[in-house]
Chains A and B, each alone.
Chain A
């Protein structure tokens, strides 16, 4: 059975750092395209980042230079390193398997909440 389980969310002060994890089972992360999408409280979905199987990465302008998407093939896990966090980064972060066109598709995690506040 395919499953994606996010972890690492929590309360963090502005300017701080956090690393989100997305542990996959039932398929191989490194052989697939993987993405992060976020949703601020009461707001719509926002595309954050994608990593292709070949290693290419792309980011939303709002997080470029602050967030880094990566994966650990030995752990079959996707990561999102978030630095210089701002209040506007407060959201539920979802990982999802992505299509070759960089968009999330069939498998999604349950989401992990990141709250940036002093």
Chain B
């Protein structure tokens, strides 16, 4: 049981816009930054979004993050086949630990 709640799966067709939600509480998302990671099969995770909505260099602007209250979202526009991966949200918790969501498997139909 993960502290942050994500839908286990999401899907979309090429070119479509999809969003992945991440729900937490006042002690994590509600009071700290949200991070998003992409994990392609058989590889280490990759930072996609940091500090709620900031993109590291090299991450396409098709990826965007937002936060409102105790929830956050990752949006992917112009969906491409190479976006098929697992996506995880994470946040620091005021109990002095990091917490992850359970992950969302994105399928490009």
Which residue numbers of A lie inside 8 Å of B, CB to CB? 35, 37, 44-47, 50, 58-61, 94, 99, 101-106, 108-111
Contacts and interface: CB of A to CB of B under 8 A. Distances in A.
B97 A106 contact: no
Interface string B15-57: 0000000000000000011010101000011110011000010
B54 to A, nearest CB: 11
Given A94-B45, A101-B32, A44 B101 contact: yes
Contact of A103 (B39, B92, B102): B92
A104 B91 CA distance: 10
B97 A60 contact: yes
19 contacts: A44-B2, A44-B88, A44-B101, A45-B39, A47-B90, A47-B98, A47-B99, A58-B96, A60-B98, A99-B33, A101-B32, A101-B33, A103-B33, A103-B90, A103-B92, A104-B47, A105-B56, A108-B45, A110-B44
A111 B44 contact: yes
Interface residues of B, number: 26
A72 B61 CA distance: 38
A27 to B, nearest CB: 15
Q: Which secondary structure characterizes the binding site on chain B?
A: strand
Contacts of B101: 44
A45 B45 contact: yes
Given A44-B103, A45-B103, A105-B50, 11 more contacts: A37-B45, A44-B100, A47-B90, A47-B100, A60-B97, A99-B51, A101-B33, A101-B92, A102-B98, A106-B56, A108-B44
Contacts of A37: 45
Contacts of A45: 37, 39, 45, 88, 90, 100, 103
B78 to A, nearest CB: 24
A111 B39 CA distance: 13
Contact of A58 (B39, B86, B97, B103): B97
Most chain A beta carbons < 10 A, residue from B51, B86, B100: B100
